[in-house]
A and B are shown apart, each in its own frame.
Chain A
Amino acid sequence: MTFNIIVLAKQVPDTRNVGKDAMKADGTVNRAALPAIFNPEDLNAMEQALDIKDRFPGSKITVLTMGPGRAAEILREGLFRGADDGILLTDRAFAGADTLATSYALSMAIRKIGKFDIIISGRQAIDGDTAQVGPQVAEKLGIPQITYAENIEKIKGRKITVKRRLENGVEVVECPLPVVITVNGTARACRPRNAKLLLKYKHAKTVTERQTENIDYIDIYNSRPYLNLTEWSVEDVEADKVQCGLSGSPTKVKKIENVVFQAKESRQLTDDDVDIEELMKELIDSHTIG
């Protein structure tokens, strides 16, 4: 038994290590100042996909990402870990997309890929934190979805069993394939890059990269076809331009505020039990914790 798996991954600014120049004066994210990384929960999803491939050798993993040309790095990162193929969905017309336009574009690309059993992604991206794209892709494709997944327990026939991590416990659900699964950060961390795959795929490039960068080894792209990364435009996936990018995005950002945390008042507490209990009550009342 083998499966066709599509991993939806996003290149995001590393908001976990924010320096002082992370925000521009207008309050928007200064992407240039933050290193671009593989969205952390998408890596958890990647591991789940690789695990299926380990269990069912011959299964195929395709990494699909939407973004600017440099997002091709995400595809290479996927190949270094064991993905079989990577597709970059890139076009000026995709720019400025909210979650609706993004899921539309991704679903069109998935339709073009055609064969799929499991579509898997992280629960949410650390730059937007919406957790909407996965569920919307499932809706657009008209297939079931399992969110907050922590582990794919088993796949038997055309049925998949998944453990979900919820607020108050875990839930094990069964679902027919094909399915969209979004994975929590509590799932197993992704395996490291594999040395041999890293060396095999390090020269993998998209057509645009090969045209715009100074490439040392021209001939290898003919002799080693696996080094050519697929790049798809709006036309390639036969998408309706109006539903893509800014024009396809009903969400409009009204205002962005730069929130600076600062201590307004400070209090001294002793390590006395009464003091600690008072503090706990206060924090629970203010919904800071609990």
Chain B
Amino acid sequence: MANFYTDTPQFRHYLQHPLMKRIVELKERNYADSETCDYAPMDFEDAMDSYNKVLEVVGEICGEIIEPNAEAVDQSGPTVSSGRVTYAAPTQENLDALNKAELMGMGLARKYGGLNFPMVPYMMSADIVSRADASFQNIWMLQDCGETIYEFADQAQKDKYLPRIVKGETMSMDLTEPDAGSDLQAVMLKASFNEKENQWYLNGVKRFITNGDADIHLVLARSEEGTKDARGLSMFIYDKNSGGVNVRRIENKMGIKGAPTCELVFKNAKAELVGTRRMGLIKYVMSLMNGARLGIMAQSVGLSEAATREAYKYALERRQFGNAIIEFPPVYEMLANMRAKTDATRALLYETCRFVDLYKTLEDISRERKLTPEERNEMKFYSRLADAFTPLGKGMSSEYANQNAYDAIQVHGGSGFMKDYKCERLYRDARITNIYEGTTQLQVIAAIRHVTTGTYLQQIKEYAAMPVVPELESLKRDLANMAVNYEKMTEAVTSTKDTDYLDFHARRLVESAAHIIMGHLLLQDANKDQELFRRSAEVYIHYGEIEVMKNWHFISKSRIEDLGYYKQVIDE
């Protein structure tokens, strides 16, 4: 019996993080639900036991059903006919299994039928599902749009839609258009209000919409005629039951082929406004995207896990020159780096989840009662950290998922280039992770202000103040040296006060911060469990140290006027 939760002890380790106590206490409002709801936990230990048990079920479904289906899903994929999408049969089987197990709406409140899980165990499920089938993770993870309805829709909309999500109705977020990709301010899909009917109507085209034939859509549309920027955009719910949206085509993609990517035509589609007009992009999409980025981070980590395991398994079996190839230093170095990158981004994923949990839960409590001044400060503190860590983690984990999938093929040699091995699917599936929900280049833009304002450095100092056992002291010194280089390069870049120069080096700065942060997280993990994390901590910190050094070396030699050489290349 394959179980993708129990075979990865890192999950239990992160469930036991000391901050979980505070997270669960807030999330469960001192366990008040246990009076009225038969599946609510009675105390902290009971809640932790519940997460553990439910994750065991997720791990079993992923190991026994979703992963064995993944190859067939990739080969058959969804189809479209008369404007409607049909999933590949095994995709539908996956959905049915998760529905029967009532694993939809994991993060939603119990009054809507959800499990009220914090982000940490919820994203663990996403991580596990992605390891089994990254394309299916897309469809499953879109239930997260429910969070946006919960936060911004009115009570009637919440009562109408949230229980449906819990019962397994699928979702999509309809943002992208042919001329509005990274630049969502250019969205043109028209929302017009019919005063007589007191009804909004949507008209236009959306493109590249993942799971575009979903039951419930969140749609970004231009509600203010004549406007051209973000301030003219509002958020709407489109219910497939009302009709008016057809799927014109589904894209033939390189990877994540099980998830239908649709071009949608809205023809007088009835829709409901969410929240306030004009706040669509400015407020709601930003929140939606942050949630989605966390989901892609989990997808990336799951893919990295799958790639690492495939490579490791093959390297143990494959014999050349009389030995298993895992015996050869160039191969085992690759494998060690893959494991280290996977563990490093997983550490960053759950650290980010904890920050998101703390600020989101406090924010949610603030809708019920006034927060104390201490709670307000706590919320602000973690909100800032979540804001800083989300783009950092999305960028790094998706880049590493690609690198790990690439290395998995390299370990397989010629066989990896054939369609016979799983690693080629992982390679194709990973390729989108550093593109959608904001390319890595856009993640860097979101992250760079936390370099210049010192959020990362402050947090690095917090980590550096945590004690470690004597045998890990040398790693801690390495991290201290990396931080010195990071401070030097930050100073060198920001002191020029040249925005182009800052943008040019932004990725180097952000990645350097990421190496140090992930190094510290692994060091703390190793401090608690050397057997599980020491190897990855050693390997990753050595890897990161050189990367930071490289970045510092490049920046120390880089003059503002050098940018001209790069620009000239573009002009040609």
Contacts and interface: CB of A to CB of B under 8 A. Distances in A.
A193 B50 contact: no
B57 A196 contact: no
Contacts of B45: 216
A224 interface: yes
A192 B100 contact: yes
Contacts of B102: 194-197
Contact of A191 (B40, B101, B115): B101
A196 B97 contact: no
Interface string B15-50: 000000000000000000000001111100110011
Interface stretch (A93-101, A198-206, A270-278): A198-206
B52 to A, nearest CB: 10
A191 B39 contact: no
B38 A194 contact: no
A220 to B, nearest CB: 7
Interface in B44-103: 45-46, 49-50, 53-54, 57, 60-61, 65, 97, 100-103
B54 A192 contact: no
A192 B97 CA distance: 7
Given A192-B60, A196-B39, A224-B38, A202 B100 contact: no
Interface residues of A, number: 15
A195 B101 contact: yes
Nearest to B49: A202
Contacts of A192: 57, 60-61, 65, 97, 100-101
Given A195-B103, A196-B102, A202 B53 contact: yes
Contacts of A224: 38
Nearest to A17: B1
A55 to B, nearest CB: 14
A217 interface: yes
Given A193-B57, A194-B102, A200 B39 contact: yes
Contact of B39 (A193, A199, A217): A199
A195 B54 contact: yes
B67 to A, nearest CB: 14
Contacts of A191: 97, 100-101
A202 B57 contact: no
Interface in A177-201: 191-200
Contacts of A200: 38-39
Given A199-B53, A199-B54, A202-B50, A193 B42 contact: no
A218 B115 CA distance: 24
Interface in A199-228: 199-200, 202, 216-217, 220, 224
A151 B386 CA distance: 52
Contacts of B60: 192-193
Contact of A195 (B42, B49, B57): B57
Q: Which of B40, B41, B46, B65 has the most CB of A within 10 A?
A: B46
B146 to A, nearest CB: 16
B66 to A, nearest CB: 11
Contact of A194 (B41, B49, B100): B100
Contacts of A194: 100-102
Nearest to A217: B42
A191 B96 CA distance: 10
Nearest to B38: A200
A194 B97 CA distance: 10
Nearest to B104: A195
A198 B472 CA distance: 41
A220 B42 CA distance: 10
A192 B65 CA distance: 10
Nearest to B65: A192
Nearest to A80: B57
Q: Which of A191, A199, A220 has the most CB of B within 10 A?
A: A199
Nearest to B1: A17
Nearest to B96: A191
Nearest to A54: B100
A202 B47 CA distance: 12
A250 to B, nearest CB: 36
B54 A198 contact: yes
Nearest to A37: B1
A213 to B, nearest CB: 14
Contacts of A196: 39, 102, 115
Contact of A199 (B50, B61, B97): B50
Contacts of A217: 42, 46
A239 to B, nearest CB: 35
A193 B38 CA distance: 16
Contacts of B65: 192
Contacts of B101: 191-195
Interface string B431-461: 0000000000000000000000000000000
A40 to B, nearest CB: 10
Contacts of B54: 195, 198-199
A224 B36 CA distance: 11
Contacts of A220: 42
Nearest to B47: A199
A165 to B, nearest CB: 21
Contacts of A216: 45-46
Interface in B85-141: 97, 100-103, 115
Nearest to A50: B100
A82 to B, nearest CB: 9
A191 B53 CA distance: 16
Nearest to A220: B42
Nearest to A192: B101
A105 to B, nearest CB: 30
B531 to A, nearest CB: 22
Contacts of A197: 39, 102
Contacts of A193: 57, 60, 101
A44 to B, nearest CB: 14
Nearest to B55: A195
Q: Which of B53, B61, B65, B97 has the most CB of A within 10 A?
A: B53
A192 B41 CA distance: 21
Given A216-B45, A220-B42, A224-B38, A198 B57 contact: yes
Interface string A81-121: 00000000000000000000000000000000000000000
Q: Which of B40, B42, B97, B102 has the most CB of A within 10 A?
A: B102
Contacts of A195: 39, 54, 57, 101-103, 115
Interface string A135-174: 0000000000000000000000000000000000000000
Nearest to B42: A217
Nearest to A35: B1
A216 B34 CA distance: 15
Interface in B150-190: none
Interface in B329-380: none
Contacts of B97: 191-192
Contacts of B115: 195-196, 199
Nearest to B61: A192
* Top-7 shortest CB links A-B: A199-B39, A192-B101, A200-B38, A200-B39, A196-B39, A191-B100, A195-B102
25 contacts: A191-B100, A192-B57, A192-B61, A192-B65, A192-B100, A193-B60, A193-B101, A194-B100, A194-B101, A194-B102, A195-B39, A195-B54, A195-B57, A195-B103, A195-B115, A197-B102, A198-B53, A198-B54, A198-B57, A199-B53, A199-B54, A200-B38, A202-B49, A202-B53, A217-B46
Interface of A: 191-200, 202, 216-217, 220, 224
Given A192-B57, A199-B115, A200-B38, 5 more contacts: A191-B97, A192-B61, A196-B39, A198-B53, A198-B54
